[in-house]
Structure 1
Amino acid sequence: METAILPKTPQEKLNTLLLYFYNRQTYAGEFFDQRDLTGNDGNWKELEYLSNREALFYLNTLITKGLIQRIPEWEFKITFDGLNYALQLTEEGLNSTNCFVAMSFDEDDKPIFEDGIVPALTATGFRPFIVNKEHLEPEQTINDGIIAGIKKSKFIIADFTKQKDGVYFEAGYALGRGLKVIYTCRRDWFSQCHFDINHFPHLIYETPAQLRYGLINKIEAWIK
C-alpha cells in the first residue's frame, strides 16, 4: 500500500487546504460550501485534520490572508491572489510527491537507481523524477528539463558515484532554491568528492540494499 504524504507543519496544512479547493474548482471564482469541509461528516477527515474546528481554523486563516473570500453566509471562493499562490505552490513543488534524482546513468549504475533509490522512494510515498532525452518536450533542452523538474520536486537525491559534473550542477541549483538535498555516494568514490561538498553529511553505501535502507530512514526523518 502506498504511504500517504501528510502535512505536518501549520504552513503545510494551510497550503494543503488551499490546494484541495484549487484542484477541485472547475473555473475561477467557483463557490464552495464551508459545510462540506467543516460539517460533522465533512472533508476535514480526508485532509487529516484532527477535528472540524482545526479545519475551520485554517479556513479562517486563508480568509485573513486574503487567499479566499467568504460569501455570506456559508460559501466562499478562491481570490485572485489565492489562485496565483496555489499556482506557485503547484509549480514550485512545495506539496509535490516528486523527488528529483541526480546521478550517473551509465549502464553499470542502473542497480543504484533501480534497486536502491526507486524502492526507497516507493516505500516512503514519493516518485522518482529523472530527466533524459525521452522525457523532454520537443522545444526543451536538457537544461530546461532539469530546471523544470527540480522546480516540480519536493527534494532531491544527489548521488556522487562517478563524480558526474551534472550532479554538482543539479544539487547546487536545488540547494539555491531552498530544496533539501540528500547527498549519497558509493564508498569507493567518496574520496574523490570535491571539497565544496565533501563536508556535507553523505549517505555512504556499498550496496544498493544499504542505499535503500539508508534512504528510507533519511526520508522518514528529514523529509516527511
Structure 2
Amino acid sequence: MEKNIVRVWPATHCPLTNRSDSEVIRSVDLSNFSFDREGFYWIYKFGAGEQLLIVTDELFNNSDIWTSKRREIEFLLHQGRWPKGVKMMDSNSLLALISSSNIPSSPIEKLKEVIYYFKSVSEFFGQTLYPKDNFHYKEHLVKKTGMSNPSELERIIYTCIELGYVKDEGSTKSTFPISLTLKGWEEAEKFETQKSSNISFIAMSFDPEMIQVYNDWIEPAIRESGFEPYIVLDQHPNSDVTINDAILAGIKKAKFTIADFTYHKSGVYFEAGYALGRGQKVIYTCRKDHIGTAHFDTRNYQHLVWKDGEDLKRKLMDKIEVFIKS
C-alpha cells in the first residue's frame, strides 16, 4: 500500500508578527524530512538572526496562543530556546516549552535579565552602552529580556539606575547612554553563574531505601544528562560548616534542584522552596505510593510520579532534557 505523504507548506504569513514579505515567507527544501502531521513553515527574523519555525496546522491557526503567549514566544525565539533544526511544534508542545522555560515574569526576574544582557555586551568594565542605538531596542532587546513593551524596558533600566546597578551617563533621553556599575557587574556574575552551572542539587529523604535509589538511579540520570549531582550527604562538611550552610551553598551553586518528596521530609520542602525563591528551576518527584499525602503547598506543581528506580531515571532524564536543557 502506498504511504500517504504528509506535506508541510510555506505559510501565508507569520502568525506572531503578521509579516508576509519575502524574507519571512520563502521556500525551504524539506523534502528529506518526514512529518506525521500537516503543517506550515516560515522564517522568523530577529536582529541579525533568523529561526525556521515549523508548526502543525492546528497551532498555526490557533490565534489565541499567538496572541496570549506572544511575549513568552518572543522570549524563547530571541533567547535561542526554540527547538533547533527541523522540528514540528504543536500547541501542547509549545505550551509545555513555555511552562518549563522559566520565562521572566516578575520585575525582579526581568531586571536580572537586563543586567545580565548589559554585562554580556560590555567589552570591558565601565563601557558606555547605548541601548536605544545599538541593540535593536524594540525589535530585539525588549523581547530578549522578556518585556511586554519598550516602556517596560525603559522603566526597568531606570530602576536599575535607582538601585545602583546601572549608571546614567547623561546626555539625551533619545540615546540613553548607560554603563554597568561594580554592583551591577557583581549581580550579573551571580546570575551568570547560575545560568552556566552544571550542578544539580538533590533534596530528598536519606532513608536507606532512598539512598539506594539515589545511588542506582538518580545520580546516573543526572550524570548521563551532562550534569554533576550535589547532595549534602556526599559533601562531609567541615566542623565549622553546618549542614544548613552546606545545603544553602549547594543550592546557590546549582543550575537546578531535584526535590523528591517520598516520605515527605520537612527539609525537602524547605530546600525546594528556597531554590524556587531564588528563581531556580525545581523538578518535583515523588514515589507513587506517597503522592497522595503530598503537602498542599506543592500540589500545584507538576510532580514526576515514579513507581520504581528505572521509571524514575527515565522520567528524570526526559524532564532534564526538556525543562533544563531547552
How far is the alpha carbon of 1:138 from its aligned partner?
3.0
Q: How far, CA to CA, are the matches of 2:189 and 2:276 in structure 1?
A: 22
Q: Is the 8 A contact 2:116 2:192 kept in 1?
A: no
Residue 295 of structure 2: aligned partner: 194
Q: Which amino acid in 1 is paired with 2:272?
A: A
CA distance in 1, matches of 2:192, 2:241: 20
Q: Which amino acid aligns with 1:117?
A: I
**Percentage of matched positions with identical amino acids:** 45
Specify the alignment match of 1:103 in structure 2. Answer: 204
For residues 63-107 of structure 1, give each alpha carbon's deviation from its aligned partner in whole angstroms, at most 9, with x where no partner exists.
xx98xxxxxxxxxxx98467524642466x221100110001121
Q: Give the CA RMSD over aligned residues.
A: 3.8
Task: Return the TM-score normalized by structure 1.
Answer: 0.63
Aligned mate of 1:88, from 179, 186, 190: 190
Moved more, 107-116 or 142-151: 107-116
Whether 1:171 and 2:171 are equivalent positions in the alignment is no
Matching residue of 1:130? 231
Q: Secondary structure at the residue paired with 1:196?
A: helix
- Structure 2 distance, partners of 1:8, 1:164, is 38
Contact (CA 8 Å) 2:200, 2:255: kept in 1 or not? yes
Match of 1:206 among 304, 307, 326: 307
Q: Which letter maps to 1:120?
A: A
How many pairs align?
176
Q: Distance between the aligned counterparts of 1:171 and 1:15, measured in 2?
A: 25
Q: TM-score normalised to the size of structure 2?
A: 0.45
> Which is worse superposed, 133-142 or 168-177?
133-142
Decide whether the 8 Å contact of 1:117 with 1:211 is kept in 2: yes
Point out where structure 2 has 5 or more consecutive residues left out of the alignment: 1-78, 82-111, 126-156, 158-165, 167-179
Q: Which structure carries more relative contact order (alpha carbon 8 Å, separation 6+)?
A: 1
CA–CA separation in structure 1 for the residues paired with 2:191 and 2:237: 22
1:5-40 alpha-carbon deviations (Å, 9 max, x no partner): xx955x99x969x79xxxxxxxx98xxxxxxxxxxx
The residue identity in structure 1 corresponding to 2:186 is: N
Q: Provide the rounded CA distance (Å) in 2 between the counterparts of 1:144 and 1:90.
A: 22
SS in structure 1 at match of 2:232: coil
- In the alignment, is the contact (CA less than 8 A) between 1:187 and 1:206 conserved in 2? yes
Inter-CA distance 152–198: structure 2 relative to 1 (3 Å threshold): same
1:120 pairs with 2:221? yes
Unaligned regions of 5+ residues in structure 1, if any? 1-6, 20-27, 30-64, 67-77
Specify the SS of the correspondent of 2:254: coil
Compared with structure 1, are the counterparts of its residues 133 and 124 closer, same or farther at alpha carbon in structure 2 (3 Å cutoff)? closer
Q: Which residue of 2 aligns with 1:155?
A: 256
User: Partners in 1 of 2:299 and 2:183 — Cα distance?
Assistant: 42
